[in-house]
Amino acid sequence: MGGLQRAVVHADLDAFFAAAEVRRRPELRGTPVIVAGRPEGRSVVSSATYEARRFGVHSGMSLGEALARCPNAVVLPVDGAYYRTLADAFRAIIFRLSSVVEVLSIDEACFEVGVQENWMRELWELGQRLRQAVRDELGLTVTVGAGANRTVAKIAADHAKPDGLLVVPQGAEARFLAPLPVEAMPGIGPRTAAELRGYGIRRLGDLASAPISVLRLVFGRRCEEMRERARGIDRQPIRPEPREPKSIGQERTFARDLFAPKELADATAQLAAAVTRRARAEGYQAQTVSVKVRFRDFTTLTRQRRLDTPTADEATVAAVAYALIERLVRDERRPVRLLGVRLSGLRPLAVQLALFDTQTARRLLALHALDRLAARWGERPVHVPPSVLAHSLLRPAEPPRPPWLEG
Ligand SMILES: [Mg+2]
């Protein structure tokens, strides 16, 4: 029995945006689906299901060309807020498996795990657990690669796509890489690959044994590192990011100073709606609610309250904020020229969804669906008198079942 050995796992959601669309439109399962964005006024494929890829569609291609290749594809617009919510839930699952996680993109992360005794069995089981959790909790598929370092784990994941799992045995890194084309190595694009082929270097095995003088012509100062990586040696560490400690706030200066409780409550509710909508769009809930009140004479006071449970629910935030504001106004007995509401102690919304608190989760998902409608049709009116705030704090309204909340 040796000590704990370090392994790296690379997880990459399959055809993420397109799969996310199929997830909420099950009738599209098994059909070619293209998600297209308009980065510069020109529609470009940002994701496509494997059914569309079979026709030669790939991301980055113009939508016109994609439809020429695959005329029957269903084309859907990018819905960033929805994908971010899923991506946060994906990361929350990964954080249950490791605390050393590097997020590489919206749908890709690598992380470090310890292996006790049996490299293949333990990594295989961990990979299966991750894939099962993503399937059960998100309704998506993820491909997982595992190995001795990040290069090997990443290439293993690429190799196993889609919906696959590949564990590279310890000590077999060079043997795994040798037969793969040089383009399999992250950082080697088509141009570099063509240059390498000019020197007779086609496979990673060729790269692993190429003379350094030749590799220097292609890679410059990175020549040693690239040859080492082709040999399955990679010392790049996982760089865990600090979980973002930012806050989300909004303030409003009124055209006419406010004093009546109804006016203050309405203004508070609107600010609470705005900040919670932003928090949900960015995939966060807040542990702390702060308020700022500026009175007619410019005296400015702030108060904050730490919540028992983090929330992204606008009624909860409005109720807490209003209670703080009401007390300040009652004590100061002066009209108010500015109000602000701020959320801090932000954490991923997904953590709460993962707790299977279904009622809260449903309410948040319904709010998220309303956010998407609002983004499309404009703001929805928010007028919530304090009595309703107190009521909704106790008993969240039963929202309509959002279309993408599957059983
Ligand atoms: Mg992916």
Tell me the Cα Rg of the chain. Answer: 26
Question: Is the pLDDT assigned to residue 242 strictly greater than 80?
Answer: no
Flag whether 401 is in a domain. Answer: no
Q: Is the domain of 253 the same as that of 136?
A: no
**Residue 358 pLDDT greater than 60, yes or no:** no
Decide which of 80, 98, 117 is a domain's last residue. 80
Distance 148 CA to ligand 1 centre (A): 21
Asked whether the predicted pLDDT for residue 375 surpasses 60, the reply is no
Together in a domain, 174 and 287: no
163-178 mean pLDDT: 96
Whether residue 196 lies inside any domain: the answer is yes
- Which listed residue (102, 108, 282, 314) is catalytic? 108
Q: Please give the distance, rounded to the nearest whole angstrom, from the Cα atom of residue 312 to the centre of ligand 1.
A: 28
Task: Give pLDDT, residue 60.
Answer: 86
Q: Is residue 239 domain-resident?
A: no
Q: Give ion ligand 1 contacts, CB < 5 A.
A: 12-13, 16, 107
The 10 Å Cβ neighbour count of residue 30 is 11
**CA 362 / ligand 1 centre spacing (Å):** 27
Same domain, 334 and 362: yes
Which band of pLDDT confidence, cut at 50, 70 and 90, is reported for residue 42?
confident
**Within this chain, do residues 99 and 57 fall inside the same structural domain, yes or no?**
no
Q: CATH number for the domain including 113?
A: 3.30.70.270
Instruction: Say yes or no: 260 and 379 in one domain.
Output: yes
Residue 213 sits in the same domain as residue 178: yes
Using alpha carbons only, what angle is made at residue 155 by residues 154 and 160, rounded to the nearest 5 degrees? 100
pLDDT computed for residue 395 by the predictor: 35
pLDDT, tens digit, 9 for 90 and up, residues 47-87: 999 999 999 999 889 999 999 999 999 999 988 888 988 99
- Tell me whether residue 228 is one of the annotated catalytic residues: no
> Is residue 326 one of the residues assigned to a domain?
yes
Say if 56 falls within a structural domain: yes
Token pair, residue 71, equals 């005329």
Residue scoring higher pLDDT (113 or 373): 113
Is 374 found in the same domain as 291? yes
Distance between Cα 277 and ligand 1 center (Å): 27
Give yes or no for residue 398 having a pLDDT over 50: no
Q: Are residues 337 and 367 in the same domain?
A: yes
Inside any domain, residue 157: yes
Average pLDDT across the chain, whole number: 85
Provide the CB-side half-sphere exposure for 108 (13 A, CA): 14
Region 338-363 average pLDDT: 69
Predicted confidence at residue 34, as pLDDT, reads 95
Question: Is residue 238 included in any domain, yes or no?
Answer: no
Q: How far is the CA of 396 from the centre of ligand 1 (A)?
A: 36
Q: What is the pLDDT of residues 93-118, one digit of tens each?
A: 998 899 899 988 889 999 999 999 99
400: in domain: no
Q: How far apart are CA 289 and CA 297, in angstroms?
A: 25
| Most confident range, picked from 196-205, 247-256, 305-314 | 196-205
CA of 96 to the centre of ligand 1 (A): 20
Whether residue 50 sits in one domain with residue 105: no
Helix, strand, or coil here: 14? coil
Domain that holds residue 76: 16-80
Mean pLDDT of 307-332: 92
Could you give the number of structural domains in the chain? 3
Report whether pLDDT(356) > 80: no
Out of 240-244, 352-356, 371-375, pick the least confident. Answer: 352-356
The verdict on 299 and 339 lying in the same domain is yes
Confidence at 41, pLDDT banded by 50, 70, 90: low
First-to-last C-alpha distance (Å) of the chain = 44
* Residue 158 CA to ligand 1 centre (angstroms): 9
Tell me, rounded to whole angstroms, the distance of Cα 371 from its chain centroid.
18
Cα(233) to centroid(ligand 1), Å = 24
| Residue 118 buriedness (CB in 10 A; 0-12 / 13-18 / 19+) | exposed
Residues 111, 76 share a domain = no
State both tokens at 342.
């701020």
Find the CATH number of the domain harbouring 51.
3.40.1170.60
The CATH number of the domain holding residue 376 is 3.30.1490.100
CA distances (Å), origin 379, targets 73, 153, 373: 32, 45, 9
Q: Are 76 and 90 in a shared domain? A: no
Whether this model's pTM surpasses 0.75: no
